[in-house]
Amino acid sequence: MNLDRLEKLVGLNNVVKLRNLNILIVGIGGVGGYAFEALVRAGISKFTIVDGDVIDETNLNRQIISNTENIGTLKVVEATRRARSINKLLNMDYMDEFLDSSNISKIDFKSFDYVVDACDTVDTKVLLINECIKNDVKLISCMGTAKKMHASSLLVTTLNKTSYDPLAKKIRKLVDKNDSKKIVVVTSTEEVKDTEGLGSNSYVPGVAGLLIADYIINDVCKDI
């Protein structure tokens, strides 16, 4: 994969650091798909992705891995196929399961440099937080992007500093207060829209995913 443009920006040493990362992404939909794509295009070459869902027609408005030709196929399979069309040398693994307490032991958290939480389930988010803290692995967790219209209201902060985010509020109650100061999240300061169901637009989840990639890449390249 030609990373000449990136090397001009961050230097060869940082390109090598990025290439050698091992990243776990849980949830490969609207947020996770964009995070995954940006990280692949940054030259990161080793991933494990986890998602038990299949692509649905309703995903077409916001999920980068979806198209009219792959409705009904596993998201992890389509995400892997798309990523390998960008970088044929990717070292990929995937679990076509929804992560929960019954199967989280399959994952060796100590083997990862970063964990991306882009799933929708509160219990799974808390499990990931606890595992990453226990194993001293860097985690970035996406909070709620549904019912939001303004991508400019998204930011990266810590869980204890979130506001106007119902999902973050639930999670804050389930984790240790001291831990909430360490947990890096993408959240929105926008108040949720009073809509029926979890309405989403084409770009807020995507921008949240790109902010996840931005956090990881700049964390690695922080010497520039």
pLDDT > 70 fraction of the chain, expressed in percent and rounded? 100
Query: What confidence tier does 164 reach under pLDDT thresholds 50, 70, 90?
Result: confident
Report angle CA 128, 27, 144 to the nearest 5 degrees. 80
Q: What is the pTM of this model?
A: 0.96
**Beta bridge mates, 187:** 155
Lowest mean pLDDT among 64-68, 152-156, 160-164, 193-197: 193-197
> How confident is the model over 86-120, as pLDDT tens digits?
999 999 999 999 999 999 999 999 999 999 999 99
What is the set of domains in the chain, with CATH numbers?
4-220 (3.40.50.720)
How many angstroms separate the first and last alpha carbons of the chain?
23
Cα–Cα distance, 154 to 211 (Å, whole number): 8
Contact 26, 119 (CB under 8 A): yes
**Beta bridge mates, 157:** 185
